[in-house]
Amino acid sequence: MPRYILALDQGTTSSRSILFDHDARIVSVAQQEFRQILPATGQVEHDPEDLWGSQISTAEGALGKVALEEVAAIGITNQRETTIVWDKRTGKPIHNAIVWQSRVSSSICDRLRSEGVEDTIRQKTGLVVDAYFSASKIIHLLETVSGARQAAEDGHLLFGTVDCYLVWRLTGGKRHVTDVSNASRTMMLNIETLEWDDELLAAYKIPRSMLPEIVDCSGQFAETDPAVLGRVIPISGMAGDQQAASFGQTCFDQGMVKNTYGTGAFALMNIGDKPVLSKNNLLTTVGWRIGDQVSYALEGSIFVAGAVVQWLRDGLGIIEASSEVEPLAETVADNGGVYFVPAFVGLGAPYWDPHARGTIIGLSRGTTGGHIARAALESMAFQTRDMIEAMQRDAGVPLQVLQVDGGASVNNALMQFQTDLLGTRVRRPKISETTALGAAFLAGLAVGFWESQEELRGLWRLDREFEPTADPHKMDQMYTRWQEAVTRSRAWERAGE
């Protein structure tokens, strides 16, 4: 009997591979950061070769001395929306990957809006028209890379999000597939039929031949080429990282909400088997599909969360390691009136303002690095409240508990502030790597490593529960100040043109 599932988690700033055992315990982890390519303001790219190279070397690292026969299956999860276009004749990408955070295609979105397709896009895909999603990134590549349009029309080019690209490489170019949760982030998937939408493809002028086959999140849809890891291993789980985190948090019931604090922060609420549209500027997205069971989610997406801490470290240089942010923030009793809106690449939910830019407001002679660090941390919690308030308005009921995970959820002071600001309990599981765990669960279910979702529920273990203790009136006052700060950050880029 194989004893492990290998999860490949290809994130925005690093690739990770984690081996899980049957009790969902981590047996080994390997992680590697890779280059962030920043060609111009608001633009972010990755070299697909870096994504592949770092992912495969961490997979080898996590496997270590484990015999490959011990691995039942591979699950893949990934930064979503990030767009790769490659030539199937050579396997070579025609350009760097355009990362989800990149605003390079904002003007294409303006154009789509002016062409009057905004409402159709919203109704059909559940998304808002924004440079965040893959479609405008593909249009950008077809319009700017020399020869790309013709090659696409001649059927030579393939598009994939990172899941799809990894499967292409893992199978030695044999499988061009994406799972339905990743497909739902492209602005090309019809969320009712769960097929690519021909009307939208025509509006975007994207040839259907570029698009991958859509598969379930759990199922035996591919296997590794023996030349890659040395053996044929089923690839049987695949989901975008936020959907995978929801699955790893076992948010299987309608109304359950998780928030992942990684580079960005993403709150997903399970809304059951119908794709209800948000009235409060949230996204409707596919959670997962397993056989005939489809689960939808309402999503709030924040573009900069943990990345603000990276900016304190690499941009401002006031800390040397991310973990130093907590002690620095604790050198001051409160934020001293400083509010930090980290709109480095515009604002996501619920504002959807590509022209907002980062703002630190309320500075005085007495402001210290401690205040800036505190305001930076608080910005993650304030942005989360923005999303959760929108979610509560959509759901019509207050949230009982928020399940948290991701790199920045290790920060206890932040989690305490989050619970105080929301007035809602916050629960953190023992495994904060819920993204990888979700991918492992999906892969393991498909090959009988785990029997059922009920069994998975029993594997969720609590690390710590945070309870609100602060004065709610004071929290509301701070939140009002935050909203004023957001107002000041908005439309900045446009105003400067």
Ligand X SMILES: O=P(O)(O)OC[C@H](O)CO
Ligand Y SMILES: Nc1ncnc2c1ncn2[C@@H]1O[C@H](COP(=O)(O)OP(=O)(O)O)[C@@H](O)[C@H]1O
Which parts of this chain interact with ligand X (CB under 6 A)? 11-12, 79-81, 100, 240-242, 262-264
* Smallest distance, ligand Y to C-beta of residue 365, A: 27
Kindly tell me which of 325 and 391 has the beta carbon lying closer to ligand Y. 325
Kindly tell me which of 310 and 368 has the beta carbon lying closer to ligand Y. 310
Cα–Cα dist 369/431, whole Å: 32
- Residue 245 gets the label, from left (phi > 0), alpha (psi -120 to 50) or beta, of alpha
Is 242 one of the annotated binding-site residues? Answer: yes
CA distances from 318 to 84, 189, 284, 345 (A): 35, 43, 38, 21
Cα–Cα dist 110/160, whole Å: 24
Kindly state the number of chain residues that form the binding site for ligand Y, as judged by CB under 6 A.
19
Is 323 a binder of ligand Y (CB under 6 A)?
A: yes
Are 368 and 331 in contact, with CB atoms under 8 Å apart? yes
* Smallest distance, ligand X to C-beta of residue 445, A: 22
Is 411 one of the annotated binding-site residues? Answer: yes
CA 50 to chain CA mean position, Å: 19
Is 231 one of the annotated binding-site residues? Answer: no
Residue nearest to ligand Y (CB): 407
Kindly tell me which of 17 and 242 has the beta carbon lying closer to ligand X. 242
The burial class, CB within 10 Å (0-12 / 13-18 / 19+), for 354 is: buried
**CA 178, 179, 184 angle in degrees (round to 5)?**
100
Kindly tell me which of 311 and 449 has the beta carbon lying closer to ligand X. 311
Q: Which does 80 bind (CB under 5 to 8 A by kind): ligand X, ligand Y, none?
A: ligand X
Among 237, 240, 287, 306, binds ligand Y (CB under 6 A): 306
Are 307 and 44 in contact, with CB atoms under 8 Å apart? no
Cα–Cα dist 13/51, whole Å: 10
Is 80 one of the annotated binding-site residues? Answer: yes
Nearest to 207 by CA among 131, 133, 156: 156
Is 410 a binder of ligand Y (CB under 6 A)?
A: yes
Among 4, 8, 10, 11, binds ligand Y (CB under 6 A): 11
Kindly tell me which of 36 and 280 has the beta carbon lying closer to ligand X. 36
Nearest to 308 by CA among 360, 232, 246: 360
Q: Which does 434 bind (CB under 5 to 8 A by kind): ligand X, ligand Y, none?
A: none
HSE of 379, CA atoms in CB hemisphere, 13 A: 30
Using CB under 6 A as the binding rule, the residues of this chain from 212 to 271 that contact ligand Y are 262-263
* Binding site per annotation, positions for ADP: 12, 16, 263, 306, 407, 411
Interface contacts to ligand Y, rule CB under 6 A: 11-14, 262-263, 306-307, 309-310, 322-323, 325-326, 406-408, 410-411
* Binding site per annotation, positions for glycerol: 80-81, 132, 241-242
* Binding site per annotation, positions for sn-glycerol 3-phosphate: 12, 80-81, 132, 241
